[in-house]
Structures are given as structure tokens and as C-alpha cells.
Amino acid sequence: MNFPTETTSHEPMFTLPRALTALLVVMFAIHFVRMALPERLDTQVLLTFAFIPARYGTTLFAHSFYDGIGPKIWTFLTYALLHADLSHIGFNSLWLLPFGSALARRFGALRFYVFLAVTAIAGAAAHLVTHEGALAPMIGASAAVSGAMAASMRFAFGSGSFLSFRRGDAEAAAMVPALPLLQALRHPRVLAFLAVWFGINLVFGVGSISIGTQAATVAWQAHIGGFVAGLLLFSLFDPIRPVNGRDRGDEAVEAQDPV
């Protein structure tokens, strides 16, 4: 399969795939509805759909709907559709534009949504393990966004892909064959990205978002959970035949696009 080495038209690079557009519309619609709710009702929304570690193994919500089996299951996913404020949802959306676009084009809508759901669940699980019994609810799509970023690293620096020096158009850039995980982890640009990403997440805050306040800190363990899941599980979702040691011809070597 051949991939163009130059962008023939800049317009497709700024056309969002419908799967990502629909996701952004849903996230913003939910946020604007919550903004219109009275504080009491919005608190109930958070108690019902945010991820709260104290829900598991304590009696904080005993004999109430919030302690039922339903919220204990669905909040592993629904927390990712809630955000603290416009800057929170805006920041996540900005990161989704490049990485989510490439992944949505590569996976197609169904695989894209399932992949984001799996990485969001992985982020919630990592948060639960590191915040056992915590009362503060965690919300935000950051774990899923982190998973999309990690998955994109498997092909983003290949020749013709969206972070390469010889970028193709949006569709071609999303279809560049991925490197095997161990080979990708030896790529200097992937290593540099990983170092910066993990460094930023370790530097910025610990915790989650508190009900009834505007204070928010970064739930970085959830980010790492989503990122690691995205990096490791990418191959299970990827429909494109990967580059491997057996068929690494000139095109495969070029696909590494070394600095």
C-alpha cells in the first residue's frame, strides 16, 4: 500500500470525522444541560454518573439509589461524559481534535467508541486502586483522551502520518501501518513524546473534582491508566496490517521516519 508523502490539500486535515463530531456534540450538550440545572439537581447528576471511589466497599451511600449496583457499574464509563467547566471540556476537546480524528478515521465509528470506552474504564479502575474510599467524584474524558493519544503514537510518526515530517492528507495519514509495540517503544520520537507526557502528568496535581466547588485538580493516575490501556490494547482494535520484521522493505523502513 502506497501513501502520499505530501499534503495535496489542506482542507481534509480540518474536516472532523463524523464519529468524533458526534462525540463532541454529545459531550457539549450534556455540559450545557448541566449548566442550566439548579445546583441541587446537578449534584444529583454527579452522584449518579460521576466516578466515586467511596461507592465501593463503604456504607457512605448505604440503602440509597447512589449505592445501587447500577451506579457502581455505569459510572466506570459515564464519568467521562461529564466535565467541571468549559475550560475542562475545551481542553479535552482540543486534544481530541488531532489524536481522536486520526483514530476515528483509522478505526471507524464503532471501534473508535468501544476503544474510548475501554480506556475510560481503565482510567477509572486505576483511579479506584489509587484512591480507595475517596469521597471526591472524578469526571472528565481525560483518561479516554489519553488512551487515544497513546494509540496514535503507534502510527503517528510514520512517514505520511499526521505527526511525521512528510504528512499526507487526513485519510492517508490515519492509515499508515503501525509499528509493533516494542519497536515503537524504541523509536526516538515516541520515547520523547512518552517522556514529556508522563512528566507533565506527574508534575500536575493529584486528586479529582469536588462536588459543590469550582476547585479541580488532575486525576493523573486515571490518565496513566487510560494511556497504558490505549498503548497496550491498540493492536486489538487496529484494522490496518502492521509493519513487522518479516516484511520491512524500503517503505517500512521509511515509515519509521527517524529524526
Q: What pLDDT, in 10s, does the model give residues 45-69?
A: 999 999 999 888 766 666 677 788 8
- Residue 37 is predicted with a pLDDT of 95
Which domain covers residue 82, as residue numbers?
16-255
Residue at 147 is within a domain:
yes
Banded pLDDT at 15 (limits 50, 70, 90): confident
CA distances from 194 to 39, 112, 131, 180, 201 (A): 39, 22, 24, 16, 11
CATH of the domain at 99: 1.20.1540.10
| Res. 122: pLDDT tops 90 | yes
Residue at 178 is within a domain:
yes
- Cβ atoms of 144 and 223 closer than 8 Å: no
| Of 48-62, 129-143, 181-195, the least confident | 48-62
User: For the chain, what is the domain count?
Assistant: 1
pTM of the model: 0.81
Cβ-proximal residues to 141 (8 Å cutoff; 6+ apart), any chain: 27, 80, 81, 83, 89, 92, 96, 116, 120
List, for residues 145-164, the tens digit of each pLDDT value: 999 999 998 888 877 677 76
Residue at 177 is within a domain:
yes
In DSSP terms, 51 is beta-bridged to 138
Residue at 167 is within a domain:
yes
Residue at 60 is within a domain:
yes
- Residue 64 is predicted with a pLDDT of 75
In DSSP terms, 209 is beta-bridged to 216
DSSP-assigned letters across all residues of 170-185? HHHHHTSPPPPHHHHT
Residue at 23 is within a domain:
yes
Q: Which of 10, 2, 5 is nearest to 165 (CA)?
A: 5
Residue at 246 is within a domain:
yes
Q: Which of 236, 232, 28, 45 is nearest to 122 (CA)?
A: 232
Residue at 45 is within a domain:
yes
